[in-house]
Amino acid sequence: MAVAILLHLYQPITQTEQSFREIYDACYLPLLRLIKNKRNSKFTLNVPLSLIQQMQRYGYKSWIDDLKELKESEKIELTGSAAYHPILTKIPAEVAQDEIILNEYGIGYYLGRHSGFEGEAGILIKNLNGFFPPELALNSNLIKLIDSLGYDWVIADETCGHKRGVYSLKGSKLKLVVRNRDLSNAIAFKRSINVKDLLYFTNTSYHEGKDLDHVVALDGETFGHHYKEGIYILDTFLEELLSREIDVISVSEFVESSEQRESVEIKESSWGASDFEANSGILYPMWNHPENEVHKLQWDLVGLALDIYKNVNKPLSDGNETLPIWDFSYLSKIQDEGERKFLKRKILLLMAIHSDQFWWISNKVLPTGEVLFSKNMIENSLSLWHKYADTLGDPRIHDQIIELSAKIREIMLKYENKLF
């Protein structure tokens, strides 16, 4: 038997510095130490540009260096994803592609090479075999895009219509890897569970009475941030697996060693929907709930911005091929004023459509009891929208964004008074 563990490490670009530093101390630092020191184990990590950018901003270069070392030693593998964590299934393919390619460029800048195979200037990151769609939001159109960009596999939740395992996909070279939802959610949300209980899930089977390998996929912040004792639970769980001669492997190794099941198609899905919600057509309960009036206004904002969107994925001018264009302090190095303005506007747009603005106004109650409402996170998101509006040079669109923001604030006050 084997267990593959995929950890999604992410903070929205609107996170506060204080919160980021607290999460770093509680989770990111001890988690990387655990991974580094855990013998005979490999891990798969999704570390999008949004997180690495903030690591750099707040002075955690040593963490980035350690991550790069773990990658180069093949202790971890990294996945592709979207730079700023939007719901990729809810935006046009060209915007999704720009998010994905910007993410490749960003992690290449921090963790890869600043030259091509022949020494020419450019950013290169190798061996991004798998893809992590934010919130595991997946549909057939996104599968086509991920396949076209050369990825080997994509991770999905069981709400896609299939039980855990590896599947080939009809009309695609891409492999579908379905996580063990019960085990993943038990680790993520059950605070009274112990390691012996977790091992129960590794002994269950869905196929001909035989034990099968498992993929666990969940937020890395579970360990130390969402759950104070999480690092200890993870460490103990890994030791129990190894003591029982259950291998801890990367997801790519899991794909290579697993027997692929029949060629399938998928249902549109996310990891936030329960089976009941998915069957009721509510695929994005934390991000696009039909009864959430703020969600509707937020998607009106996104739609307004995307109506005037032009691809950010055009070549940088000569001499700028390795600039970190997401760090606006570097844009002064670009001589062409039009190019500078273009890049700032497009990067701000890709930042502004992040998924957390919907999450923190959803009012959903997690299994841990946490209510998903944060006035500060919504205000930070609206501030980002205002910065984007200021770059447009279009008073009409600018005023519409400000008007929608005012409506969101008005409703948010009602939510705040109701909750607190």
Domain CATH for 96: 3.20.110.20
Reported as half-sphere exposure (CB side, CA atoms, 13 A), residue 300 has a value of 15
Whether residue 304 is contained in a domain is answered as: yes
The pLDDT of residue 8: 98
Question: Would 179 be classed as within a structural domain?
Answer: yes
In this structure, the answer to whether residues 264 and 304 fall within a common structural domain is: no
Could you tell me if 10 and 44 are in contact, meaning their C-beta atoms sit under 8 angstroms apart?
Answer: no
Domain span including residue 336 = 293-419
Quick one: 105 and 73 in the same domain? yes
Domain boundary among 204, 238, 271: 271
How many domains is the chain partitioned into structurally? 2
10-residue mean pLDDT series, the chain (420 residues) = 95 98 98 96 98 98 98 97 98 96 96 81 89 98 98 97 94 96 91 77 52 86 93 94 94 92 92 92 96 97 90 77 94 93 95 98 90 94 97 93 96 74
Q: Which amino acid is at 188?
A: A
* Positive/negative CA dihedral, 358, 361, 364, 367: positive
Cβ of 41: how many Cβ atoms within 10 Å?
20
Q: Has residue 281 been placed in a domain?
A: no
Only one residue has tokens 């993520």, namely 188
Same domain, 158 and 194: yes
> Does any domain span residue 277?
no
Residue-wise pLDDT tens digits, 4-51: 999 999 999 999 999 999 999 999 999 999 999 999 999 999 999 999
Residues 332 and 223 occupy one common structural domain: no
* Helix, strand and coil in the chain, % to nearest 5: 50, 15, 35
Predicted local confidence at residue 419, as pLDDT = 55
**143, part of any domain:** yes
In a domain, 184, yes or no: yes
- What is the token pair recorded at 38? 């855990």
Q: Encode pLDDT of 138-149 as tens digits.
A: 999 999 999 999
- Say whether both 238 and 331 belong to one domain: no
Measured distance between the N- and C-terminal CA atoms of the chain, rounded to whole angstroms:
48
Q: In this structure, which long-range contacts are made by residues 409-417, counting pairs with CB atoms below 8 Å and at least 24 apart in sequence? A: 409/379, 409/382, 411/293, 411/294, 411/297, 412/294, 412/361, 412/375, 412/378, 415/294, 415/361, 415/363, 415/373, 416/373, 416/375
Q: What residues pair up with 165 in beta bridges, in sequence order? A: 178
Verify that 207 and 253 share a domain, yes or no: yes
**Do 152 and 167 form a contact (C-beta atoms < 8 A)?**
no
For residue 283, tell me if it sits in a domain. no
**Which residue's structure tokens are 């929205």?**
12
pLDDT of residue 124: 84
Q: Tell me 175's DSSP state.
A: E
- pTM reported for the whole predicted model: 0.95
Cα gap 223→367, rounded to integer Å:
16
Position 308 scores a pLDDT of 86
Residue 286 in any domain: the answer is no
Are residues 250 and 372 part of one domain? no
pLDDT at position 204 = 52
Q: Determine the Cα angle at 51 with ends 49 and 56, to 5°.
A: 90
Q: Are residues 28 and 94 in the same domain?
A: yes
Q: Are residues 260 and 298 in the same domain?
A: no
316 and 223 assigned to the same domain: no
In this structure, the answer to whether residues 174 and 309 fall within a common structural domain is no
Co-location of 21 and 141 in the same domain: yes
Residues 6+ apart with CB under 8 A from 384: 13, 14, 348, 351, 352
